[in-house]
Each structure stands twice: as structure tokens, then as C-alpha cells.
Structure 1
Amino acid sequence: MLLYKAEQIVRKDMMAMQYIFNGTFETGCQQNSVPQSLKTLVGMIFGGPYVKMQSIEAHTTLTISQLLQFNSSIRRRKDSSTVFHSTEREPLLSIYLGLLLHAETRKRGLIYKMYFLGLSLSYDRIMNLSTALGNLICEAFNIENVVCPAKLRSGVFTTAAVDNIYHNPSSNTGVHGNVGVKRLNYTN
């Protein structure tokens, strides 16, 4: 009966938790994507009720908590073999793993395997996020009326250079010529 009551409390917090990915992985975002009651329960399962033991396994506790949050659903149908993941409760671990796999491998099959294991977003969801991130960057370029890397920070002196490019005139496709040096200085 005690386990049932604890489960009801934690599950209520999990279903009420909403965290929508805004396109960046900010400091502390993983901790904010899962409820504290879930992290506490998982930490107590790993290390008992001792605070010192919970702090030692904090990364493992956070990882398991995010996977539990990702794979939980309000109601699953008995006859359904598919898993429904709410976009309002996607922990950042699953988003990060999906985007990382796509960026490194571009393999749909591998991403689907990780999705069916409950570790990553689906390939289609990753494509939606990728498109949304690209659109956000294009909007920022239009608003600022300048095209520059999204990682440029305000107040930081930045220098970029394009070096000479020499073509080999003896190659079959080579064209003789060069491109001059351009130096761009940005101060924000």
C-alpha cells in the first residue's frame, strides 16, 4: 500500500510536469525537465535515504529519471503496441540523444532502434525539431538583417578570415586564379 501511495504521488507530478524544448541546452535544463519527487525516489532507490549517497549518483539518478519521464504515459491502450510520447514532457536526454545520433550518423534505422528501446525521440520527431531549429535561425537572421553564426555572443570581439585559394592549373578541372584575402571584424 505504501508503494502504491508513493507511485501515485510521483506519477501525478510526472504527468503534471511540462517542459518544452526551446532549442538550447541551458545550464540546469536537465534538472528542470523532471519533477523533484521522481529524482528523489530514484535517488533513494539507488542510494537509500542518505543524502551523501544520493549526491554521488546524481548523474545516474538524473538519467534514469529522464528516461522514466520520457517513457511514462497518461494511459496506454491494451491492444496498442506503439508508445506515445508527449512533446510537452520530453526530457532533454532523449532530445539530445536523438539529435546527436542524427548529427553523427544520419541513420534512420539506428534512431528508430534507440526510439523503440525508449532512449531517443523518433526519427520523425527529430526531423521536426531540426526543421524548427533551422527556421528559428533563419528568423533570427531576418530580424537582425545580417547572416552570422548563431554562436556569436554579444560583447565578444570576433575576427574571421578567408584565406587565398589557389587552383592547380595542371589538373584536368583546375582553373588558374586566386581569391583575395577578406577579413571581417565584428564587435558587438
Structure 2
Amino acid sequence: MANAAVATHAAAPSAEPTIAICSSTFAADRTFVLDLPSVGRRTVVLLAARSTQNHAGRNNMRKRYIVDVEGVPPPPSPISNAVVVGNQVWISGQLSVGDDGVFIPGSTVEEAKRAFAHIFRIADAAGFSAADIVYVDLAFIDLADVTDVNRLYAEFFPEGQRPARTIYQAAKLPFGGRIKVQAVAAR
């Protein structure tokens, strides 16, 4: 859908052209022909709009990159903490890292608490809340820890409003971490 300026021109050769401009919302169509029997002429409607796709068919949806977030150390890699695209934010994987950027080892639950705290701060910096999180991806070093993290997950997300989730066992995580958390939020 796009916002459009709509101009109508009389198609009858002897008639004076008339122009009406309004704001409207429409799908990808760009030209309409309307029969207006009450005024006895055919009207061509030309739509001028900013499409979400360029001429090569690529998506031009505006993106906002979230790099610096208060309370979250800058990423050690050349990445953004998150990218906002439309009404969604895609949050990069977070580990148990202190404000100084140094990894803080602990139990899987302790590491998950710190990682989720970063997820929630990044979501907030992007204009989203924890309640907006719709998907969580959890990478574990040991799937035996899932039960403990499930209890923490239930504390963070109330029943009936829990995000979809994927869990898997990773061969290795950066800094010897026990869990990595990444998320997607939408409103």
C-alpha cells in the first residue's frame, strides 16, 4: 500500500480538463479508467506514488539501524544491535556480556538473564517493548538446560502472550557462552 496524489483529467476532447487532487491509499495499481455517466465523460485517473519496490523489483522499505544502545556494549563485530524494518525490529544475538563488553560466565539461567536484559534494552531503544516480541531464537550449548530457561522464559512472557520460539544446540558459542538469545518484535 502507498499514499498517493490522484489527478483526474477529462478524456473527452472538447471538454475542459478538470483536476481533482486528494490523498488516498491504494495497492500497486497505477492507472484507472473510470466511467462517470453522471457527468457524461470517461475519466482517466493517474496515480503518482512512492512504491515499496524500485524498478529492479527490490524492496525499498525504509530501514533504521540501531547500533548504540545505553546499557548494551557495542557489538564486537561489524554489525548492528538491531534493524528496524517497517513495523518490525530484528535484534542480533546477545550473550551474557557486561556493560564493559566483557563476557560474564555463569549458569545458563544467569547468562540468559543478562542476554534477555540486552534484548529488552535494544527493543526499547528501537521503540518496541518486551510485549512486542513475537519470536525468540535460543542457541544452547547443552539442551539439558532448556527446562531451567523455560522457567525464566515464563517469567518474562506471560501466558497467552508468549512469543514463538526456536531452540537448538550449538557446537560452540562465542566466549564459551552457554546460551545466545536473538529476537524479532513487531507491533
Q: TM-score band, normalised by the shorter chain? A: under 0.3
Query: Whose strand proportion is higher, 1 or 2?
Result: 2
Instruction: Please tell me whether Structure 1 or Structure 2 has the larger radius of gyration of its CA atoms.
Output: 2
TM-score by length of 2: 0.25
Which is bigger in relative contact order (C-alpha 8 A, separation at least 6)? 2
